[in-house]
Structure formats: C-alpha cells, structure tokens
C-alpha cells in the first residue's frame, strides 16, 4: 500500500511540474490551441486533487484519535516541502497577475483555459504536501 501512496505523491509532483511548464508556455504566447489537450487534462485534474486533499485530511483525522487531521498533517510536513508549496503558490499569484496585466494592456479577451495551469499548480502542490504528510503517518515495516 505504501508503494501506491508513493506513486500518487510522484503523480502530484509530475502534475505540478506540467502545470508550471504550461503556465510558462501560455505566458510566452503559445496559443490555447497548441496546449488545448494538456489544459483540458489539467482542468479535469483539479477536482481530483481536491478530492485527494480531502482524502488525505480524513485519513490523518483517523490517525489523530479525535484531534485535527490538518494539524497532524502539518506536523508531519517538513519545512522544505512547505517552501515548495509556498513557491508554487507565489508562481500561481504571479501568473494570475501577469494574465490580468496582459489582458488590460492588449485589450483582447484571453481564453479562460489559460487560467487552468495556475489553479492546477496551486491544488497539486497542496496535494503533494498532503501526500507527503500522509506517507509519514503510514506505519513503517519492522
């Protein structure tokens, strides 16, 4: 079971990486037609990441013996992982502010799909941190 959890964490990291790359591609002027398949995939993955975050929190609550699942996850997430989440969130904020600035300066409507990589990066970084915390809750084999 632990191997499956590890692969899910790797999947969240891969999704985060793909969303960062597609954010950069959209910002550099690649049209939505070039990235349409990837953007639709990322759009479909946003609810999956939200469900995973809820799942990890519920599982942590079961380990917390009546306490807060979020507090237990927080206690098991190292500082470097929190730094990675904060970096992804700051990239998301910068991307959204850039899209607003570009749309104001060019006065051309932009496709709403261009905002999907930012949301995917935000949620997949949270899912990655929650998956790591959940891995730390799993009892180690002796």
Domain regions of the chain by residue span: 1-137
How far is Cα 31 from Cα 53, in angstroms, rounded to an integer?
A: 31
pTM for this one?
A: 0.86
User: Of how many residues is the chain composed?
Assistant: 142
Q: Could you report the per-residue pLDDT of 57-94, keeping only the tens digit for each?
A: 998 888 877 778 788 888 888 998 899 899 999 989 99
Q: Which of 5-9, 96-100, 122-126 has the lowest mean pLDDT?
A: 96-100
How far is Cα 70 from Cα 60, in angstroms, rounded to an integer?
A: 7
3-state secondary structure of 35: coil
């Amino acid at each position: 079971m632990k191997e499956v959890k590890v692969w899910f964490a790797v999947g969240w990291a891969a999704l985060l990486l793909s969303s960062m790359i597609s954010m950069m591609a959209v910002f550099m002027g690649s049209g939505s037609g070039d990235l349409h398949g990837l953007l639709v995939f990322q759009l479909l993955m946003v609810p999956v990441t939200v469900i995973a975050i809820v799942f990890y929190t519920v599982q942590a609550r079961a380990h917390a013996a009546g306490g807060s699942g979020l507090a237990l996850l927080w206690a098991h997430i190292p500082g470097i992982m929190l730094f990675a989440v904060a970096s992804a969130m700051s990239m998301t904020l910068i991307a959204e502010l850039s899209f607003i600035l570009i749309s104001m300066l060019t006065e051309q409507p932009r496709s709403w799909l261009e905002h999907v990589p930012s949301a995917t990066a935000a949620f997949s970084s949270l899912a990655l941190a929650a998956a790591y915390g959940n891995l730390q809750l799993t009892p180690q084999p002796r």
